[in-house]
């Protein structure tokens, strides 16, 4: 397995492309937007510069990593000769089904098709292809080059051969793969998102403020960041979408998004990427200043 195609040049896509390229694989990074591809490559370059500055890699290794990545705006061109395609597009079921239907037509039958979805059913995504045994979930964590975990999710029809291949490949990337079964939210988000949602409920009910909730979880539970800061980092829109997928899948009210979360998403206050969420990021990307909405 030498050629890897990655669909989507956003946060997760460029991180996945970076990780494969740094491990010596030839990567075809695909996005319909030239601007997104440029931003993605700029991000990869900046992240590699930080690694050089910290003496984790050499300048030569940085250049080799960048040379391993080629960009494409056409899926059919980008997936040519790929042994594995990793889809990392927006967390939207209809979009993913459309992409996989196109991949079914554009790739050979022995190409493994992986999705980086964080909550959507692998079995449902696999229904868009003629041979669903080659479809698997490969859920990387953000930031991809740093985080060790990869959730490997078997769909109902995913073959043992494909699963074993992806488990082995993840180890070659110096990651720790954990195999899980296909249920809404898998393991990571099934546990994480209700915690984040409960933290938002705690704020919504006036039990404590943003800083206080996060401090309790950081100092009392040894979490590296509080749940509200983490929600901002993930994106409140992404958290909301994942909770809706789980609520729809389980029909259990405990997964229903908190009304405060819903309103913040509607207002466009979705965290770091919008400049404001539970914290104000207008001056710093660090969660140092609580949003004025919650600071009075």
List, by residue number, the catalytic residues: 118, 139, 151, 189
Question: What are the strands, taking DSSP E only, across the chain?
Answer: 3-7, 26-30, 69-72, 84-87, 112-115, 135-140, 149-154, 176-181
Buried b (16+ CB within 10 A) or exposed e, 70-101: bbbeebeebbeebbbbbbbbebebeebbebbe
Of 296, 271, 294, 272, the C-alpha closest to 210 is 294
Known binding residue 209? Answer is: no
Is 273 part of any known ligand binding site? yes
- Check the annotation: does 235 bind a ligand: no
Ligand-binding annotation for 31, yes or no, is: yes
From residue 11, alpha-carbon distances to 73, 142, 158 in Å are: 17, 8, 27
Of residues 132, 92, 107, the one with CA closest to residue 8: 92
Q: Is 142 flagged in the annotation as binding? A: yes
Instruction: Please check if 12 is assigned to a binding site.
Output: yes
Q: For residue 143, is the peptide bond before it cis, meaning its omega torsion is within 30 degrees of 0?
A: yes
- 138 annotated ligand-binding residue: no
State the Cα–Cα distance between residues 244 and 34, nearest whole angstrom: 31
Determine if residue 11 is labeled as part of a ligand binding site. yes
Residue 84, C-beta contacts closer than 8 angstroms, at least 6 positions apart: 1, 3, 4, 5, 111, 112, 113, 114, 166, 169
218 and 225 Cβ atoms separated by less than 8 Å: yes
Binding residues: 8-13, 31, 91, 96, 118, 142, 273
Residues annotated in a binding site for NAD(+)? 8-13, 31, 91, 96, 118, 142, 273
């Amino acid at each position: 397995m030498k050629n890897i195609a990655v669909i989507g040049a956003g946060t997760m896509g460029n991180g996945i492309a970076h990780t494969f390229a740094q491990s010596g694989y030839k990567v075809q990074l695909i996005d319909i937007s030239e601007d997104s591809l440029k931003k993605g490559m700029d991000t990869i370059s900046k992240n590699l510069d930080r690694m050089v500055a910290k003496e984790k890699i050499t300048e030569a290794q940085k250049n080799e990593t960048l040379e391993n990545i080629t960009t494409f705006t056409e899926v059919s061109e980008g997936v040519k000769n790929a042994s594995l395609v990793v889809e990392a597009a927006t967390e939207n079921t209809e979009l993913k089904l459309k992409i996989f239907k196109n991949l079914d037509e554009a790739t050979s039958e022995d190409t493994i098709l992986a999705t980086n979805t964080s909550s959507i059913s692998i079995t449902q995504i696999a229904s868009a292809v003629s041979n669903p045994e080659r479809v698997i979930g490969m859920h990387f964590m953000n930031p991809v080059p740093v985080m060790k975990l990869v959730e490997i999710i078997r769909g109902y029809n995913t073959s043992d051969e494909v699963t074993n291949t992806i488990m082995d490949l993840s180890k070659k990337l110096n990651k720790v793969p954990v195999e899980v079964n296909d249920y809404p939210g898998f393991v990571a988000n099934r546990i994480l998102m209700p915690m984040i949602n409960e933290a938002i409920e705690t704020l919504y009910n006036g039990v404590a403020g943003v800083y206080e909730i996060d401090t309790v979880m950081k100092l009392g539970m040894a979490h590296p960041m509080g749940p509200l800061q983490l929600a901002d980092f993930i994106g409140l829109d992404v958290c909301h979408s994942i909770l809706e997928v789980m609520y729809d899948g389980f029909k259990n009210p405990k997964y229903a998004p908190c009304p405060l979360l819903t309103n913040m998403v509607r207002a466009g206050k979705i965290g770091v990427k919008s400049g404001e969420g539970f914290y104000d990021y207008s001056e710093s990307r660090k969660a140092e200043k609580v949003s004025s909405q919650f600071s009075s």
